Structure 1
Amino acid sequence: MSTPEGPAPDAPTDEVDLIVAAWRREAPQLDVEPLEVLSRVARLARHLDRLRRGAFSGHGLETWEFDVLAALRRAGAPHELSPGQLLVETLVTSGTMTNRVDRLVGRGFVERRPDPGGDRRSVRVRLTPAGSGVVDAALADLVRAEHAMLAVLGREERRALATLLRRVSAPFEG
């Protein structure tokens, strides 16, 4: 349990505790309590980014490649989406997605197919067997690494943390 003066005596300390203590000393007029949570979230995000890049690089993938392939894989059979749906799934611009799809087509991980319900210009992006194989293998490595990252928490602690983080992040979604 943290106190306004810092972590409880029996709690582990980290770099954020030092940062918060310094701000409390240097700017005592400010309530820097949000730093205790959000600075840790930011630092964990950087660690997670490194962990993910490591898991993906073992399969020759960049993070963005995994994101597009994973969106298609999660879509279910026949593992295809429109470019517009991919934009929503990956939070990038139309021009960026066109470039990404082009590069993934070049690697043989996806293919463009005519949209049966659209006009001649409408396409669907479909995961190929090669793309499915690489994203499945990368996902397995990612999940193993993420389990290891969270091993310091018990199952109930992980569920509680997920619930709390969902409450904070939900207003930014959709």
Structure 2
Amino acid sequence: MRPEPRPVDDVDAIVAAWRRERPDLDVTPLEVLSRVSRLARRLDLARGSAFSEHQLDSWAFDVLSALRRAGEPYELSPGQLVQQTLVSSGTMTNRVDRLERSGYVARRPDPADRRGVLVRLTTAGRDVVDAAMADLLEQEKTLLNDLPTSDQRRLAALLRQMLAPLESHDG
């Protein structure tokens, strides 16, 4: 019985071309990271498709989902939102303003800090982020369809091992 042929993708051609043109370079990292990069691009397209069905941009989903994941009462300080979404405070202010105008979030004074404010997910915001999340998961399942569950778990573990040292866990 012959083994199944190994699938071939565009990265195989890119790596082969670099090996031909620059045999002095070790292009092995391309075999992993070019695939990660290309998958990230496909994921961005899938995210865009899922979010556009709900008239959301990726940034809006990121803010709304941070609030949703916070649990009841679905509120965070702007500083916490900055930490979770990795944008500047000025950018976050603009994003919260836009989401507030859309009716997806509301600001209220922070009872623990007279100068502070909390951003709370509204019912409309919760409904739209929940629907967008369900659609996103369907898109992501489609991307993973050809990979057996055990391989998905193994890949997740390998990516975690690679990503964990690069990410901060102090907040």
Q: Spell out, residue by residue over 1:113-144, the C-alpha distance to the aligned partner (whole angstroms, 9 max, x if none).
A: 1001002x200000000000000000000001
Q: What is the aligned partner in structure 2 of residue 142 from structure 1?
A: 136
Q: 1:54 to 1:151 in 2, by over 3 A?
A: same
Q: Which amino acid aligns with 1:122?
A: G
Find out whether 1:109 has 2:85 as its counterpart.
no
**What pairs with 1:36-51 in structure 2 (closer than 5 Å)?**
36-51=31-46
Shift of 1:42: 0.4
Q: What is the aligned partner in structure 2 of residue 128 from structure 1?
A: 122
Find out whether 1:58 has 2:27 as its counterpart.
no
Shift of 1:55: 0.1
Q: What is the aligned partner in structure 2 of residue 19 from structure 1?
A: 14
5+ long unaligned stretches in structure 2: none
Q: Spell out, residue by residue over 1:19-69, the C-alpha distance to the aligned partner (whole angstroms, 9 max, x if none).
A: 000000000011100000000000000000000000000000000000000
CA RMSD of aligned residues (A): 1.1
Shift of 1:148: 1.0
Q: Which amino acid aligns with 2:19?
A: R
Q: What is the aligned partner in structure 1 of residue 160 from structure 2?
A: 166
State the distance in 2 between where 1:21 and 1:9 align: 21
TM-score, normalised to structure 1, is 0.94
Q: What is the aligned partner in structure 2 of residue 98 from structure 1?
A: 93
Q: Which amino acid aligns with 1:107?
A: S
State the distance in 1 between where 2:47 and 2:139 align: 8
Segments of 4+ in structure 1 off by > 3 A?
none
Match of 2:146 among 130, 149, 152: 152
% identical equivalent positions:
63
5+ long unaligned stretches in structure 1: 1-7
State the distance in 1 between where 2:34 and 2:124 align: 39
